[in-house]
Structure 1
């Protein structure tokens, strides 16, 4: 799949919008996510593919994303190229709430329906897309804070390991977490530290935070690569089970960290559902059917106690 994505990106960069127009496919649904190098977004793709198969008919699907979540300009180019080649609809996970607005506006001007998933665009852009499907990130951040307080209590020091500053999901998720901590405890917050969604960066940052704060009682890793790097640093420091760590998302690595006690809990989004409902929703829009403006795709707190239960298995990937 990565080879296909690379080829699509290369054609967009090398040949630009004019060539892209000539390669347009009738009924193409373009799914464009923050990065292809993450199992979270690969699970979104699985949901999108499943929805396309269920729908049948003449629509085709393309799946693209930059090499990293911080490559915002690349994602903007992908949306603009999709508009230029006249796709039937776009499902987009915007990596930046402001930078993607002009490209989405171009889609609106071209009468191409857009469904936003995972992260919200900036206020004022609501008219340019027809539906927003996502975890209520503020609620999910609050769930993470509750899980941490349940284990560490209401006093002491905790750290926040975040990802891309200003991303719509980050604002809601980390904002919900910190606001809940401040409202329901006297815990001191160190950070947030921004990994740019790079696992190695999160590992190094967490190693430094643990060394600089030997009295740290808890720590929160706010997305998949950040939480993995955080957990690996905790394990390398010999602090598994000695510091309460809560992660976010639910790939195989994070599940293993829950099972071995490195992570007390992970907050898991319905990533498959985002892809599935995203394609289902844009397909309805293509048929001129009405859709909901916002759909909460939910989040589940997964711990060692419930990781093998249906409620967790339905969201883990």
Structure 2
């Protein structure tokens, strides 16, 4: 029996400062207060640096737009940097250079959940408040993590793909790089979700090294070994882009269903052309906005947030829903002016992780 998919979207309240009130009552202090109070007395703006997972990616551009919007509203100074590739060996020295410039806070999307622990600890040891955004590390040393609920997103991707293929057939996952917290969790949630569909054959996953060309090659090879492939889940923008290209080149669009995590301009074009059948759009603007909001709250009060794991939402984008303004506002952009034109602004409630 077919299940009805609950296409839902959740977003945060830009007017609500989620953070330190509960911990303030407990007197929790993570950093020395003298410097913060002196800065407040001088009325100097807090300096916050956002370190993206990779520069130029529309997801991170949208995140930076949200961060800048919050900084403008709260009177903070924001700088945005990022490595040229999603690679911890490039991100770690970038973080070290930022630490030398002594900002008040750093928001970082760690490129590896293990390799970035030590560099982040160095920033904390230097007296800098560190928040992880989008991705996380295998340690609780950061003040807080603001991200999508990626396991749940993976489960929803499984449900969406199951509906598209009639709950039967072979499915395959194109992942990006092992060790990235977000995509690891999306795959985890996807495979958990498949357990509800006994007639779907799980063909596992392969990694594209965050390269759309490599993703296309992987899918081409899979189509050769499994010509009856029914569906593909791409765990991030580049994996899904490559998968869609391979499907189109094979002339199988509409026959092999593709569900893609993320909603960049290329993926939207692929959705509109029929090579991708559904997009799971995160809310990167909200993540960036919330990160700066929480950083300013923390710097102003010097107390730990009440919630250290905060999740924003997601929106399911299909051919039928893409023109809905409540959905379109969450499509990723290459320039912040596109968000302003769409009227995107988080207006609902923050969703703390359980």
Higher relative contact order (CA closer than 8 Å, sequence separation 6+) = 2
Tell me if the contact between 1:37 and 1:68 (Cα under 8 Å) persists in the aligned partners: no
| CA–CA distance in structure 1, aligned partners of residues 68 and 281 of structure 2 | 21
| CA–CA distance in structure 2, aligned partners of residues 43 and 115 of structure 1 | 18
Q: Which residue of 1 aligns with 2:299?
A: 286
Does residue 1:310 correspond to 2:325, yes or no?
A: yes
Q: Which residue of 1 aligns with 2:119?
A: 103
Does residue 1:190 correspond to 2:198, yes or no?
A: no
Deviation, 1:153, is: 2.8
After TM superposition, the structure 1 stretch with the greater mean CA deviation from structure 2, 91-100 or 187-196, is: 187-196
| CA–CA distance in structure 1, aligned partners of residues 293 and 272 of structure 2 | 34
| CA–CA distance in structure 1, aligned partners of residues 199 and 184 of structure 2 | 22
Does residue 1:168 correspond to 2:187, yes or no?
A: no
Q: Write the mapping of 1:6-17 to structure 2, written as runs, cut at 5 A.
A: none
Deviation, 1:290, is: 4.9
Q: Write the mapping of 1:16-95 to structure 2, written as runs, cut at 5 A.
A: 27-56=46-75, 59-69=76-86, 71-95=87-111
Alignment TM-score, normalising by the size of structure 2:
0.78
Does residue 1:177 correspond to 2:193, yes or no?
A: no
| CA–CA distance in structure 1, aligned partners of residues 52 and 230 of structure 2 | 35
Gapped regions of structure 2 (runs ≥ 5): 1-43, 333-354
Deviation, 1:26, is: 7.6
Tell me if the contact between 1:250 and 1:316 (Cα under 8 Å) persists in the aligned partners: yes
Alignment TM-score, normalising by the size of structure 1:
0.86
| CA–CA distance in structure 1, aligned partners of residues 296 and 46 of structure 2 | 10
The C-alpha deviation readout for 1:157-190, integer Å capped at 9, x for no partner, is 1111010111100121110001111343332222
The C-alpha deviation readout for 1:260-283, integer Å capped at 9, x for no partner, is 221110111001111111111112
Q: Which residue of 1 aligns with 2:258?
A: 245
Length, aligned pairs only: 287
Gapped regions of structure 1 (runs ≥ 5): 1-24
| CA–CA distance in structure 2, aligned partners of residues 295 and 286 of structure 1 | 18
Q: Which residue of 1 aligns with 2:246?
A: 233
